[in-house]
Amino acid sequence: MKVLSHNELEEPKEVSPFRQTLSAYINLMKPHVTVLLLGTTVAAMAIAGRGLPNLGLVLATLLGGAMAAGSANAINCYIDRDIDQIMGRTQRRSLPSGRVQPTQALIFGVGLGVASFAVLALLVNLLSAALAMGFCSMYLCIRWA
């Protein structure tokens, strides 16, 4: 005889349309990849500064960096949408599944890039903002090649 846990007794809860949409846009940013980048960012800041800089600078750098990486990933999803549609592993992503329209994904990616530049330029420094945009551009150009 199987004993049911309290989770198995509950009816599956419906997810609100807002949460579904939010999840689809977050998935465009590929957060699992971005987290790895942010870990190395903090390590590099600690090494370069011979200790961790002030918390405000670290948080601003992480926010701007996450937005820049998310921008590049979202634009990459836009570029690869046709390929993702035919690959079994990627068919359930936000664009191929139709949860986000291509134009919306592109606008989201570009807007996130502009916002990341502003965050980094205003809260960190202009060099960080320029480097982030440069590396995002390089990533996208390499993907097109």
pLDDT digits (tens, 9 = 90+) for 119-131: 999 999 999 999 9
CB 112 within 8 A of CB 31: no
Q: What is the pLDDT of residues 80-117, one digit of tens each?
A: 899 888 888 888 889 899 999 999 999 999 999 999 99
Token reading at 108: 């989201």
Residue 21: is its pLDDT beyond 70? yes
- Structure letter (DSSP) for residue 14: P
Query: Each residue of 27-80: pLDDT tens digit?
Result: 999 999 999 999 999 999 999 989 989 999 999 999 999 999 999 999 999 998
**According to CATH, what is the number of the domain 18-144?**
1.10.357
> From residue 12, how far is each of 26, 61, 109 by CA, in Å?
23, 39, 33
Beta carbons within 10 angstroms of residue 108's beta carbon: 22
Q: pTM of the predicted model, to two decimals?
A: 0.84
- The closest alpha carbon to 112, from 5, 2, 31, belongs to 31
Domain coordinates of the chain in residue numbers? 18-144
Joined together, the tokens standing for residue 25 give 């846009």
pLDDT at 1: 56
pLDDT, position 12: 58
Q: Are 131 and 138 in contact (CB under 8 A)?
A: no
